[in-house]
Amino acid sequence: TEKNSIVFDTATNTIAITPEGDMTFSASQGNIKLEAQTIEIKSSADTKVESGAGMELNASSTMNLKGQTINLN
């Protein structure tokens, strides 16, 4: 529909994917990798990250964790 779009902008070397509804990336038998100089994730409401097994967060420099309340275990 005209409310869903994929734009390849060769002038700015960007790709914009804009759906009216949800967007799903799925690789049930493989991996999904995001690699870039900088990656930003932003939500206007709640955000959830869940792992069915182990999880690692690593930073080669300072890592900041901020929140009104932070609960560990």
Dump the DSSP string for 12-72. TTEEEEE-SS------TTS------S------SS------SS------SS------SS---
Confidence at 1, pLDDT banded by 50, 70, 90 = low
pTM (whole model) above 0.85: no
User: What does the pLDDT read at residue 45?
Assistant: 96
Residue 2 has pLDDT above 80, yes or no: no
Q: Per-residue pLDDT tens for 10-45?
A: 999 999 999 999 999 999 999 999 999 999 999 999
Residue 67 has pLDDT above 90, yes or no: yes
